[in-house]
Amino acid sequence: MKRKLVAAIGIAGMMFSVAACGDSDDKGSDSNKPAEVKELTVWLTVDAQNNWPELVKAADDAVAEKHPGIKIKHEYYGWPDKNAKLDAVLATDKTPDVVEMGNTEMLAYMVKGAFAPVDPAKFEQSDAWLDGLKASVTYEGKTYGVPYYAGTRVGNFRKDVFGQVGVKAAPKTYAELTAALDKVQKKQGDKFSAWYQPSRDWYAAMSFVYDAGGAIAKEEGGQWKASLSSPESIKGLNEFKKVLDTYMHGDKTKDESDRYIVYGQGKSGMIFAPAWEGGSAAAPENDKTGKLKDNVENFVMPGPSGKNLPVFLGGSDLAVPVKSDAQEVAAEWINALTGAAGQKGLMGKGNLPNNKTDLATLKNDPATVVPATAAESNWFVPMAPGWGQVEKAQVLQTMLQSIGTGKKSVEAAAKDADAAIDKVINTK
């Protein structure tokens, strides 16, 4: 599932009361006693409503057992409209007590003070949270949310197309991968993309940057500075451009939003994408070849460095709005859903867990070993106050399209991107 940082326009001018925070020194106040909370409002996305309602009910039951008579209300939202509704309600005094956020959506809200800090020690397996998810809930040394579940990116190849050139199993090294792709490209011709890789897919491009030892930006002395022009980042961007030039023969101005649909049209041999996309391409409504069912296979993407390609770790977090007057009970509900029992249920629904301990168990199952292994090497966006403005301006996408189309050299495009990032990345 793709989650992009939505600029929190609706909360930009708001002031949040410190008195509303659960860390208040007034421990004797009746309003802070969880036992007296009569109602809890939980906002989740439709993923929970459609795919694991029994897990939500189990969390409700756990809290109700501890707080007899409490009423737990749920509201469910789609990803495209969730944040606009959240921004509107955060401007009032009737906020929900628990909200689900895409992990890249967290930063803008943490910067503006929308969420209450939480104590990680109160949440099961917090000492083993996946690095990318832990980063998404941490700002200026404090924790403002709890990782819910994760999603990762993997390679997916067509066994029939690769089999025609003698490749019977997924490549284990980058050299094996490019050798196989060269054979596929030669056999299929230049109207076929041996690797369909949209130029504007910054999640994929930055994996090459981080694999080469580069980064989007780095913090120096309390300030963030763009680093796409560093030698390491340039090396990664050059490798990404080589992929585009050699194997991508589709539209070099496209993003990745319809990649699984394009893959299903049968004019490409592999993709690097969220783990669900291969299966979606093979679904009857998307498979225009009639050949993809049981013929596409996920694999762990090898990187040019010789290690597994580090992947962007997507996923969801749960947070407590700072204006909630039921913060302690809200934290209990979150722990009930994201704790050991909840993680087991979420893994049973095809999600990756929020922690390394459970993730390790998935490597023992052939059905889950690929995404579990891929998730072990991951990266996350710079947790800088102005990162939301970088995403909103699509700085990375613009840079990558210029590189992919040949409008600019890698060096020139990276330099321009750095300049654009540096203008806003430290701005709250």
Q: Is 342 exposed, middle or buried (0-12, 13-18, 19+ CB in 10 A)?
A: buried
CB proximity list for 214: less than 8 A, separation 6 or greater = 227, 228, 230, 232, 233, 234, 235, 236, 237
User: Residue 390: is its pLDDT beyond 70?
Assistant: yes
User: Residue 313: is its pLDDT beyond 50?
Assistant: yes
Q: Give, as one character, the DSSP assignment of residue 20.
A: G
What's the Cα-to-Cα distance from 340 to each of 55, 346, 361, rounded to whole Å?
12, 10, 13
* Residue 254 pLDDT level (bands cut at 50, 70, 90): very high
CATH superfamily of 153-311+393-424: Periplasmic binding protein-like II (3.40.190.10)
What's the average model confidence in pLDDT over 163-184? 98
The CB density around residue 224, as the number of other CB atoms within 10 Å, is: 21
Q: d(Cα 287, Cα 327) in Å, to the nearest integer?
A: 47
* Residue 224 pLDDT level (bands cut at 50, 70, 90): very high
* Residue 93 pLDDT level (bands cut at 50, 70, 90): confident
Q: d(Cα 115, Cα 98) in Å, to the nearest integer?
A: 10
What's the average model confidence in pLDDT over 38-44? 97
Q: d(Cα 180, Cα 168) in Å, to the nearest integer?
A: 10
Amino acid in the structure at residue 400: L
- Tell me the pLDDT of the chain averaged across its residues: 91
Tokens of 96: 């929900």
What's the Cα-to-Cα distance from 223 to each of 132, 140, 193, 397, rounded to whole Å?
21, 12, 41, 24
CATH architecture of 9-151+313-379: 3-Layer(aba) Sandwich (3.40)
User: Residue 23: is its pLDDT beyond 80?
Assistant: no
Helix (H) or strand (E) holding 405: helix 395-405
Amino acid in the structure at residue 61: D
Per DSSP, the three-state class of 366 is coil
What's the Cα-to-Cα distance from 184 to each of 112, 199, 249, rounded to whole Å?
50, 20, 13
- Which residue(s) pair with 40 in the sheet? 72
What's the average model confidence in pLDDT over 411-427? 97
Q: d(Cα 363, Cα 370) in Å, to the nearest integer?
A: 7
Q: What is the pLDDT of residue 2?
A: 38
- Reported as a single tens digit per residue, the pLDDT across 97-144 is 999 999 989 999 999 999 999 999 999 999 999 998 999 999 999 999
Torsion angles phi and psi, residue 398, rounded to 5: -65, -45
Quote the percentage of the chain above a pLDDT of 90: 84
Residues of the chain with CATH 3.40.190.10: 9-151+313-379, 153-311+393-424
Q: What is the pLDDT of residue 17?
A: 33
CB proximity list for 259: less than 8 A, separation 6 or greater = 196, 198, 201, 271, 273, 277
What's the Cα-to-Cα distance from 414 to each of 205, 237, 309, rounded to whole Å?
12, 9, 21
Radius of gyration from C-alpha coordinates of the chain: 22
Tokens of 310: 């580090």
Q: d(Cα 104, Cα 108) in Å, to the nearest integer?
A: 9
Tokens of 203: 């999640």
User: Residue 32: is its pLDDT beyond 80?
Assistant: no
User: Residue 183: is its pLDDT beyond 60?
Assistant: yes
